[in-house]
A = this chain, B = another copy of it.
Amino acid sequence: MNKTLIIGASGQIGQMVTTALAETDQPVRALVRDKTKLEPIAGSQLEIMEADLEGDFSAAFDGMSNVIFCAGSGGTTGADKTLLIDLWAAKKAVDYAKKQSVKKFVMVSSMGVDDPDAIGGDIKPYLVAKHMADQYLMESGVPYTLVRPGPLTNDEGQGKITIKRPAHVDEMSISREDVAKSLLFILTKEGLDSKIFELFNGTYEVENVLV
Residue A191, interface by CB 8 Å: no
Interface residues on A, range: 20 to 34
Say whether, besides A88-B116, A116-B88, A139-B139, A128 and B83 are in contact (CB < 8 Å): yes
A binding-site residues for B, Cβ under 8 Å = 55-56, 78-80, 82-84, 87-88, 91, 116-117, 124-125, 128-129, 132, 135-136, 139
Give chain B nearest CB distance to A89 CB in angstroms: 10
B residues in contact with A80, CB < 8 Å: 79, 125
10 closest residue pairs by CB, A with B:
A79-B79, A83-B125, A79-B80, A80-B125, A88-B128, A83-B128, A132-B132, A79-B83, A84-B125, A83-B129
Q: Main secondary structure on chain A at its contact with chain B?
A: helix
Residue of B nearest to A126 (CB): B83
Docked CA distance A80–B55 (Å): 22
Choice from B55, B83, B136 contacting A83 with Cβ under 8 Å: B83
Give chain B nearest CB distance to A86 CB in angstroms: 10
Give chain B nearest CB distance to A79 CB in angstroms: 4
B residues in contact with A87, CB < 8 Å: 128-129, 132
Cβ–Cβ contact A124 & B79, under 8 A = no
Give chain B nearest CB distance to A85 CB in angstroms: 10
